Structures are given as structure tokens and as C-alpha cells.
Amino acid sequence: MASLRSKVLRFAIKHIAARNLTAQISPQAQRARLEKASLPFWRSFKLSRRTVTANGVPAEWVVAENAEENKALLYLHGGAYTFGSPKTHGDLVSRISHFCALEVLIIDYRLAPEHPFPAALEDATNAYQWLLEQGYLPENIIIAGDSAGGGLTVATLINLREQGVALPAAGVCLSPWTDLCCEGDSQRTHEQLDPFLSSQWLRDMAEHYIQSNDPRNPLISPLYGDLKGLPPLLIQVGSDEVLLDDSVRLEQQALEDGVDVTLNVYQDMWHVWQIFAAIMPEAKEALIEIADFTSNKISEATYAKNEKGAELVN
């Protein structure tokens, strides 16, 4: 059963989204409004923050006091490829750093419509390669993201694989947008359930990012890609999302392609509820699952690398 806090937040989100996420407002105006409405850092733990440039990409390190050195999570924020920033997702990534005990690098990738595909993908790829250049080992890196950032997480993994770059230990997708054709059945069946997103708004935002490109390009809509060889994936999605089928179909494709994938559908939850981890028990539960998953997959990747090294020596 949904908590009382989630019910109150659900009501508030429905009204905030109705006022701000609409085609009648330009992407730039939506961007400014949501930046202004960003959650503060409601933390009860110590952390440090510093800005960096990762291969030309503006970024911010958000590091909780308990974070292990030399283990990093590259975070790709959501926002339909048209808004979002380290500021809008600052509280969420600070809690991810704390729960996962990882250093978090959140990038301020270029946004559409000013910078359509492949700008976001290029920035995410360059930031990952920058982490490798800083000495972080692939088996000690996680790539994670929410919404558009969740889809971008999978697209980045595909892009890295195609470029022959060593892949990270795992990917984590929070309510990922993996089909910019917007063809999932839940786009229709969950229209009245979802308090946050509407199918038409998603289609409008998709056009800003895709522009003249093919929406079925796997680097735009990773649902249509070959996922073979990708690292383990954790997918979290709410049962009431119009994007539910983007996660369900991603799991199916991953299983068909032999990828280790875990899908968890959180009942009565909406799009990226994890961002309310400071005040909502369901969001905290999701972060605990992410922490367990990332810890296990980094350990497994490290063990596998050591085993392979031992075999080569022998």
C-alpha cells in the first residue's frame, strides 16, 4: 500500500506537471521553471561538491563522506533531453552517493532543441572516457540515469561497446525512456494513471531531440538495439507510468540478448519517484535496492577480472 506521503506528493505532482509540462510552454521556459523549482539538498550526511570539465563536458562531483575512493557512478539526469541539470538532480545524486558509497559524477550534457541528437550521447560517452583517463577502472564504474537519462544510459553502453571501449560494471535505469517512437501500450492504457507525464508531451519532446534523425536508431531509442554484450542492468519503474512498457520491453529485449537484467515494478509509483528519497519511504527503498545492486555488480566485475588475469598468468 502506498504511504501517506506518496499520496500527498502524487496530488502535488499532478498539479505541478499540468502547469509546467505542456506543449504550450517552450522547452526553454519549461527548463527555467523546473530549474527554479529544484529540490534543495535535504541531507543529514556530509558531502562535498566540486565542478569539473570532463573531456569538454561541464560536470559536478557529488561525493558523500562515506564514498569509497576510486569507485564512481556516472549519472545522466532526466528531463526529456530538453531540461535538467546537476541542480535539478542534486539531492537525488547526493543520496545515491551516500547509499551506494560511490563518488558520483553528474554531467550537464547539452540539451535539445538547441543541441539535438547526438549531443547528449557524445557528452555521456566523453564523460565516461574521461573517468577512464582519470584512472577509474571499468569494473569500478556504474552508469546510471533517470527518464531520458535512463534511456541515455543504455544508448551510451551500446555506443561504448560499438567503439570497443571497456564497459562499466553495470547500468542502472530509473523509469527509463527507451522508445522515442512512443509506441508502448502503456502510453495509451496509463494515460489517466500517470500523475506526471502525458503521451502527447513525450511525443513533442521527442521531436525536439530526434529532429531529422530516425527515431528507431538504437542510439536514440535503445529498445530497438542489439543489447548483446552489455553489462548487467537494473531497471526500476512505477506501475502507474505511461513509460511502464519502455521498461518491460527493455527487460524482454535484454533477456533475449543474454543480458543479466533485473526489473522491479514499484506498485502505485509514478515517474522517477526516487527523487523524493529525502521524504518518501518508497523512494528510499528504491535507493537501497540500487545500493545493493551496484555493490554486488562491482564486486562481481572485479572478481571476474581477477579470475581472467589469473587464467592468463597460468
261 strand-pairing partners: 233
Q: Is the pLDDT of residue 87 over 80?
A: yes
Closest alpha carbon to 77 in 1, 188, 152, 181: 152
In this predicted model, what pLDDT tens digit does every residue of 186-208 receive, in sequence order?
999 999 999 989 999 999 999 99
Q: Edge-to-edge strands of the sheet including 261-266?
A: 47-54, 57-64, 103-107, 72-76, 141-146, 170-174, 233-238, 261-266
**pLDDT at residue 309 in the model:** 74
Q: Is the pLDDT of residue 41 over 60?
A: no
Pairing of strands 47-54, 57-64: antiparallel
Catalytic amino acids? 147, 241, 271
Beta strand residue intervals within 147-198, DSSP E: 170-174
Q: Is the pLDDT of residue 313 over 80?
A: no
Q: Which residues contact 28 (CB under 8 A, 6 or more apart)?
A: none
pLDDT interval class at 314 (50, 70, 90): low
Q: Which CATH class is domain 4-313?
A: alpha beta
Q: What percent of the chain has pLDDT over 90?
A: 82
3-state SS of the chain: helix, strand, coil percent to 5?
45, 15, 40
The helices-and-strands tally (H runs, E runs) of the chain is 9, 8
What average pLDDT does the chain have? Answer: 94
Pairing of strands 233-238, 261-266: parallel
- What are the structural domain ranges in the chain? 4-313
CA-CA distance, 47 to 42, in Å (whole number)? 12
Q: Is the pLDDT of residue 18 over 80?
A: no
Can you read off the three cell numbers belonging to residue 117?
A: 541528437
Q: Are 128 and 74 in contact (CB under 8 A)?
A: yes
For CA atoms 278, 12, 172, 136, the dihedral sign is negative
In this predicted model, what pLDDT tens digit does every residue of 227-251 receive, in sequence order?
999 999 999 999 999 999 999 999 9
